[in-house]
Amino acid sequence: MSTMTQTLRTLAFHEVVSDRRIRTALGMLAFALATSFGAYVAVPLPWTNVPMTLQPLFVILAGAVLGSRAGAGAMAAYLAAGAMGAPVFSFGGAGLPWLMGPTGGYLLAMPAAAFLVGVIAGRDAGWVRLLVALTLGMATIYVGGVSQLFLLTRQELGGLLAVGVMPFLVGDVTKILAAALLARSVRSTSLGR
């Protein structure tokens, strides 16, 4: 890495807030907001009631960057805001009924997914461990989503996977790889913990 690139990187990641608790709280707020914005990047799919969004990227990234408790806390704060009526879910959805609908299982699994990523990735995960953590976090979101779809539709597993998992696999693999690159970059600056 060139000296100029290293200098720019150092300036870009300079600690503005030195108190660790405040940095963690700001990180939680940032990931809750990023997940909200990720919900607005939603692509409806004609064969399922579940849209493709950027939310999963921020969920798994929160666990990898903030750690298990703060990552889960950020996602819990996001869900609480939406449950209380803030239009933070896909297409501006909000409220408790939204959490009981077809996308609710994915949403309700977000804190668990972020927590799992943080636990597995730890503080100093190598590439393989980080990729495993991010993949298992994404799988946790799928399990929550498919479980709720089952409760709502009583479809067989094959049908549930066809509408609740398969349409999202390619995009979510891309999100896992992007999250790995971003997490490694942020974690290498020691801001993540």
Distance of CA 68 to CAs 10, 63, 72, 81, 144, Å? Answer: 26, 5, 6, 20, 18
Going by pLDDT thresholds of 50, 70 and 90, the confidence category of residue 123 is confident
- Stretch 72-97: mean pLDDT: 95
Distance of CA 48 to CAs 64, 91, 189, Å? Answer: 29, 15, 40
CA proximity to 90, closest of 136, 115, 53, 132: 53
pLDDT at residue 181 in the model: 93
pLDDT at residue 18 in the model: 73
Is the pLDDT assigned to residue 42 strictly greater than 70? Answer: yes
Going by pLDDT thresholds of 50, 70 and 90, the confidence category of residue 126 is confident
CA-to-CA distance for 42 and 47, rounded, in angstroms?
Answer: 15
Q: Which residues, at least 6 apart from 154, have a Cβ–Cβ distance to it below 8 Å?
A: none
Going by pLDDT thresholds of 50, 70 and 90, the confidence category of residue 20 is confident
- Stretch 185-191: mean pLDDT: 64
Secondary structure class of 52 (helix, strand, coil): strand
- Mean residue pLDDT across the chain: 89
Contact (Cβ atoms closer than 8 angstroms) between residue 179 and residue 57: yes
CA-to-CA distance for 17 and 161, rounded, in angstroms?
Answer: 45
pLDDT at residue 23 in the model: 86
β-bridge mates for residue 52, sequence order:
43
What are the tokens at 92?
A: 């501006």
CA-to-CA distance for 45 and 47, rounded, in angstroms?
Answer: 6
Query: What residue spans of the chain are helical by DSSP H?
Result: 3-12, 20-40, 55-66, 68-83, 96-99, 104-108, 110-121, 127-153, 157-164, 169-188
Q: Is 62 exposed, middle or buried (0-12, 13-18, 19+ CB in 10 A)?
A: buried
The pTM for the full model equals 0.86
- Stretch 127-142: mean pLDDT: 96
